[in-house]
Structure 1
Amino acid sequence: MYSHLPATLLHLLLVLPSLGPNGAVSALPSLNFSGVSIPSLWNGDRRDAGWSSLFPHAASSHGFRVKRGSSASGSSSFEYDQNGTSFLWVIQDTYEGQSFFDRFGFYSDLDPTHYVNSSTAFSSGLAYVTNDNKVIMKGDNTTWLPQGTDRSSVRVSSYAQYNTGLFILDVDRAPWGCGVWPAFWTLGGGTWPYTGEIDIVEGVHDNQHNQVTWHTGENCSLTPSANFTGTVVQTNGQDNLDCYGNSNNNAGCGITEWSRASYGPTFDAQGGGVFAMKWDDEGIAVWSFYRAAVPADVVSGQPDPSGWPEPVAALDPAGCDPITNFVNHSIVFDITFCGDWAGNSYATSGCPGTCAERLMDPSNFVNASWIINSLKVYKKQIISGRVSGAISQLSSPSLSVLLGSTLLFAGLSLLGLVL
């Protein structure tokens, strides 16, 4: 009975006051009208004078959160950065199943551990994918060695490089044991440590607490007052706040998690879990979740870190620029035996004998395995855009219902008031 044109014009008239000088819309939270999910064109500061005044039931039932939100259909979640710009975390890369090793190179240079190349790793059963798509990487646990011989193991690095992102690793098991030093980390391209290193999962021996560490060039330090639940690592009673990789025996700046379920036998006994790292211009933060505590948004593939608890570790930009100090990072998995950390700390670890003696017996390394379900890397997708872009996000049915019902009635009401 009524043309859609007046409602369309009214919609645009309502939107124009919210535009910036360049015609940009600063945020697009979602609303639901009669089951149709649409993006709102009002920014957070205008929400009370905008949609909520016209449609109080819609506003009250879905709400507007300043730092995060979700679409009415629950299909996605959005956050706001420190500048008030809204964004989503959308999938960039997925590493899992049969194609996992296609996207990683095998490191086989000299090291205290005998890292093997890809052909040796696959032929000797140190790297493979199971029929149910579990990715396995392990140290040799079948070969007896003469004392002084390095045990074979695996180290892989992603071909892709990253400069920010949300990294979510889901594992059933992570390596541990006396003489074992595993890590899941990222490493910058170029000269170490000036392009940075981020150790997301790392530990030695039978430790039960994961350690997160950053190694950088000069002028980067850990801010102990930042919001995180872990404990700053110390050397000789002093907090390791200087992240410079070439100082303090390459210790970097580190934080130890408080949870016993973050590393070692307790983590594996819980069925593994998820490690997550968020890296953007607001800093670098790390979380760990044992299996029963993994957030639902992670399970659904729609991660929303703003709704998670405080991170276990965080590097604040006030002390370290997360963009300039960390450049072109590849993702690395490894299992080291003895080496600088596990070897040098062995005598005080409570483990039997010496690390060199430990390496001889393969049965000592039955727990030195990664069992990986997936590694997913998400990137920020800015939601803000111009009006034309915002309207184009609506499907034709959604636009028809929107303009033919809800906004039409709102338009008539407003026109009645004006006339």
Structure 2
Amino acid sequence: MFTVFVFLTLYVFHVAAWSRTASLSGQNFLNAFQWQTFADPTHGRTNYIDESTAWNDGLITVNGNQLTLRADSYSYLDPNGPGRNTFRLSSNNAYTSHVAIFDIAHMPQGCGTWPAVWEVGQDWPNNGEIDIVEGVNNQSPNQASLHTGSGCTMPGTRTINAVGGLDCDADATGDTGCGTRFTATNSFGPSFNDNGGGWYAIVMTDDAISIYFWARNSAGVPSDVTSPGQSVNPSAWGTPSAYYPGSSSCDFGDHIGSQNIVINLAFCGDWAGNAQDYSAAGCPSDCVDYVNNNPSTFSDAYFEFNSLNIYE
């Protein structure tokens, strides 16, 4: 269940010029990230492995400019052992005001999957978390979210597809934060993949956070998105798919710190494994049992990135 709000907002970016500081693809993309191997904080049937193990198990592929990150799709899991081998990467660099454009050809799909591309500050949730790509169990459309510490609320006219309420406080909302469900049905899961993927972009300034999506075959995708160059002009991109303005009700200086980019794939856990969400997606059995005993169904549980371009 989600509440619908209507808004009319002028999107103004106060950074006069954005200059490219990173153009990442293939091996360079991989080199810009470190692998995180701690226990899944979302309590999933997930085993985050290191890069060496991923290479040895054939879960990383670099083919020219494309980088593919996979989960294990051949092992039956011991119910008393660790979860399914998968990946969680965090960028070596952290970013304040920035633009990041992700060209994604494929995202993980399948019952029990929980893929995400997101950003997070060092002191969670007090330095903020911004979810760019996120969803579970093949359920489109995409959902973006902003999670903060206490004292951050969005205006009632914030967005046309708000999920939950307007309080972004992670603790007060059971980590729901301020969510936004996209209008494009091909923004997530199998429909995204069947369409050849697309582009996601985030624009983060002192004044606002805007998230954009363009499907691969969309008309009017900005040329500085399809063919990234040395500079970018988000002010010409039109209305974002998700928009979070800073204000006296949410001072970004107090709630949003420098952000690391995170790419991960979890299984089950607090959202994908929630019995109601899992069964509503038409998924069989229960999530943990399914992930344990159906490895071949995760042959499509992979991200394929064409590029990541970052501007500051």
- Interval containing the TM-score (normalised by the shorter chain): 0.7 to 0.9
Determine the C-alpha separation between the residues in 1 that align with 2:260 and 2:66: 22
Q: CA RMSD in A?
A: 1.8
Determine the C-alpha separation between the residues in 2 that align with 1:309 and 1:214: 21
Shift in CA distance, 199/81, structure 1 to aligned 2, threshold 3 Å? closer
SS at match of 1:194: coil
> Which residue number corresponds to residue 286 of structure 1?
211
Determine the C-alpha separation between the residues in 1 that align with 2:54 and 2:256: 30
| Structure 1 residue ranges without an equivalent (≥5) | 1-66, 68-78, 235-239, 380-419
1:189 lines up with 2:189 in the alignment: no
1:337 lines up with 2:267 in the alignment: yes
Determine the C-alpha separation between the residues in 1 that align with 2:271 and 2:80: 18
| Structure 2 residue ranges without an equivalent (≥5) | 1-9
> Which residue number corresponds to residue 256 of structure 1?
181
> Which residue number corresponds to residue 107 of structure 1?
36
Shift in CA distance, 120/221, structure 1 to aligned 2, threshold 3 Å? same
> Which residue number corresponds to residue 211 of structure 1?
143
2:227 to 300, 315, 324: 300
More deviation in 141-150 or 241-250?
Answer: 141-150
Shift in CA distance, 273/81, structure 1 to aligned 2, threshold 3 Å? closer
Q: Contact 2:29–2:308 at 8 Å: present in 1 too?
A: no
SS at match of 1:292: coil
Deviation at 1:320, TM superposition (A): 2.1
Q: Contact 1:126–1:139 at 8 Å: present in 2 too?
A: yes
> Which residue number corresponds to residue 280 of structure 2?
348
Q: Contact 2:132–2:202 at 8 Å: present in 1 too?
A: yes
Alignment TM-score, normalising by the size of structure 2? 0.88
More deviation in 340-349 or 305-314?
Answer: 340-349
Deviation at 1:288, TM superposition (A): 0.5
Which one has a bigger Cα radius of gyration? Answer: 1
Determine the C-alpha separation between the residues in 2 that align with 1:260 and 1:147: 35
Equivalent position amino acid for 2:107 in 1 = A
Determine the C-alpha separation between the residues in 1 that align with 2:68 and 2:50: 15
Equivalent position amino acid for 1:311 in 2 = P
* Structure with higher helix content: 1
Alignment TM-score, normalising by the size of structure 1? 0.66
Q: Deviations over 1:150-175 (max 9, x none)?
A: 11100000110111101110010011
Deviation at 1:100, TM superposition (A): 1.9
Determine the C-alpha separation between the residues in 1 that align with 2:258 and 2:295: 37
Any residues of structure 2 matched to 1:13-412 within 5 Å, and which? 81=13, 87-111=16-40, 112=44, 113-130=46-63, 132-147=64-79, 149=81, 150-190=83-123, 192-226=124-158, 228=159, 230-234=160-164, 240-293=165-218, 294-301=221-228, 302-318=231-247, 319-344=249-274, 345-359=277-291, 360-379=293-312
Determine the C-alpha separation between the residues in 1 that align with 2:114 and 2:37: 17
Q: Deviations over 1:346-400 (max 9, x none)?
A: 2333211110121121112122110001111111xxxxxxxxxxxxxxxxxxxxx
Determine the C-alpha separation between the residues in 1 that align with 2:234 and 2:138: 30
Identity in percent: 36
Q: Contact 2:133–2:144 at 8 Å: present in 1 too?
A: yes
Q: Contact 2:113–2:267 at 8 Å: present in 1 too?
A: yes
Deviation at 1:327, TM superposition (A): 0.9
> Which residue number corresponds to residue 23 of structure 1?
none
Point out which structure has higher relative CO (alpha carbons under 8 A, 6+ apart). 2
Deviation at 1:224, TM superposition (A): 3.5
Deviation at 1:81, TM superposition (A): 4.6
Deviation at 1:299, TM superposition (A): 2.0
Instruction: Name the count of aligned residue pairs.
Output: 290
Determine the C-alpha separation between the residues in 2 that align with 1:80 and 1:177: 38
Q: Deviations over 1:35-94 (max 9, x none)?
A: xxxxxxxxxxxxxxxxxxxxxxxxxxxxxxxx9xxxxxxxxxxx9755xxx722210122
Equivalent position amino acid for 1:338 in 2 = C
Determine the C-alpha separation between the residues in 2 that align with 1:378 and 1:80: 17
Deviation at 1:303, TM superposition (A): 2.9
